[in-house]
Chain A
Amino acid sequence: MEKFVDEKKIEEIIRQYADMIYRIAFQNVKNRTDAEDIFQEVCLLLVTKNAPIYDPLHIRNWLIRVTINKCNNFYKSFWQHNSEPLEETLACFQPEQQELLSEIMKLPKNYRNIIYLYYYEGYKISEIAKMLNLNLNTVSSRLCRARNKLKTILIEGGFNDE
């Protein structure tokens, strides 16, 4: 088997999925610098691991799974205790977005990932369960609780007003 790195293909994937990887990382670690570090690590894994780069369907799932795993490892690290406060992290966003993001970040991490994958990335519950190696029932329950919490946040925060 030939040793081969398709730099062009990997660059294309990095550009295509950069925001997605960063969004997941940011939601998990709540910090721009750490999220960027995780993004760099995930990009490196595209080269060093046997990523399914020629399979458009699987590469997205692979990137999500790897990013979440990286975030989980991040939480085990001592250095995360020294991370930037959330208020400073959110300072670069618009005031309304700051407020909502601040509330979203209060959701448990497992809920944030599931609600993001369901609502933003459009995955089905079964796909999320498979991707996160969780029981389908667990995903359903967490999604239900996350939805209700998010709903309360939106109502109480007055985000529903047109």
Chain B
Amino acid sequence: MMNKNLNNKIYKNTMDSIKISDDAVEKAVKNLKQPDVIGKTIEVKKPKYRIFKPIGAVAAVLALIIGAGAIFNLGNMPDKGANNSFFITANAASTDDEPVKITNEFTTIGTITPSIESNASTSIVLSSLKVVADINFNCVGNNVKTVTYKVKNGDSDGVICLFDYNTKVVDYGKVKKMFQNGYSGAMKNGVYGRYLYYDYATFDYDNQLDPDDGAQIAVGYKPTSTKEAIKMQSFLNEINDMDHKSSDMNLKEVKERIKEFYQTVFRNTEVVVTATYKDGSTESKTLKLGINNIIIYDEQDNEITNETGLYRKYYDYKLIMTAKLA
């Protein structure tokens, strides 16, 4: 019987066996005491006791208040006096992107690197092509007890996709059929399953996911015609070709095709957010996702490939995503 703990144990035991020799440690300690090493010393700050200064403390408190206001975006908070209201913020799961309030206009919510889950080698797999976009959603409101997220993608599937560690859902719907292969099997055995694909997921308002947990959405894509499937397949092949950087790639054209690919994948995607208030009433808002632009950039592996003896170079890309209220 295989389980996650066992695998972790095997991995950890193996890593434990990598130990440095005592000689090497003693050598490092000995080197430390060499005069020429000390000669290279630059200023090392020792902690010093500081005299408490009331003016400094007042300034610090003020800075804290201003900082907290900026962090929690107090200007956008719902009116405390108002009853039963909420709005949604979203941001790419990145340390740099601040959550933005979703309005009636398309607003940039961040730059993401989507994951495509497909073998991507035959047109048949297009019927099970899944794209995961790491976007965090958050609900800000008054009297909200729980928040439920549900993804719709037209005739295809969409799911709320959560990291299997640190998940704090209070309620969830079953895994959709399209997402039962592969990952759900891994999840069932509790082994290295990355995602939990929920039909919907409900969180306590006071215990919503933070960016660390990586609340994401996954969208299943189904082509509407054979023609579209062939077209999407060629786009997908082109995206895969970026791994083998070649000088004859027309990046402008590649960019357009990537954009069209994701616009097609996300064209019917909507995230329905339902707030259940403390008095038992509910309110729903629907978000639409969009692609604003594509950024293509150079990447280089740190390892030399056996084939060429050179560092492998390739192109990678990011999507600038937008969202608005439907």
Contacts and interface: CB of A to CB of B under 8 A. Distances in A.
A2 B1 CA distance: 60
Nearest to A25: B20
B249 to A, nearest CB: 22
Contacts, number: 174
B1 A6 contact: no
A19 interface: yes
Given A22-B19, A49-B42, A130 B6 contact: no
Contacts of A147: 192, 194
B44 to A, nearest CB: 6
A10 B32 CA distance: 8
A4 B24 contact: no
Interface of B: 1-2, 6-8, 10-15, 17-21, 24-25, 27-29, 31-33, 37-38, 40-47, 92-95, 111-113, 115, 134, 163, 186, 191-192, 194-195, 211-212, 214, 301-304, 318
Contacts of B44: 3-6, 50-51, 53
A5 B38 contact: yes
Given A7-B32, A19-B18, A21-B20, 6 more contacts: A3-B41, A36-B20, A72-B302, A109-B301, A125-B163, A151-B186
B19 A19 contact: yes
A18 B40 CA distance: 22
A154 B7 contact: yes
A6 B25 CA distance: 18
Nearest to B6: A160
Interface in A139-157: 140-141, 143-144, 147-148, 150-151, 154-155
A104 to B, nearest CB: 7
A79 interface: no
A126 B192 CA distance: 18
B93 A137 contact: yes
B32 A136 contact: no
Contacts of A40: 24, 27-28, 31
A120 B212 CA distance: 18
A86 to B, nearest CB: 13
A97 B2 contact: no
Contact of B192 (A39, A109, A148, A162): A148
Chain B interface secondary structure, helix, strand, loop or mixed?
A: mixed
Interface of A: 1-7, 10-11, 14-15, 18-19, 21-23, 26-27, 35-36, 39-40, 43-44, 46-51, 53-54, 72, 75, 93-94, 97, 100-101, 104, 108-110, 115-116, 119-120, 124-126, 129-130, 135-138, 140-141, 143-144, 147-148, 150-151, 154-155, 159-160, 162
Contacts of B40: 44, 47-48
A26 B1 contact: no
Contact of B43 (A3, A104, A108, A109): A3
Contacts of B42: 3, 48-50
Contacts of B214: 125, 136, 140
Contacts of A11: 29, 32
B151 to A, nearest CB: 18
Contacts of B93: 136-137, 140
A102 B6 CA distance: 19
Nearest to B111: A135
Contacts of A138: 113
B21 A36 contact: yes
Nearest to A155: B2
B212 A54 contact: no
A135 B94 contact: yes
Given A100-B14, A125-B212, A109 B41 contact: no
A137 B17 CA distance: 31
A126 B43 contact: no
A137 B92 CA distance: 8
A47 B115 contact: no
Contacts of A104: 11, 14
B20 A39 contact: yes
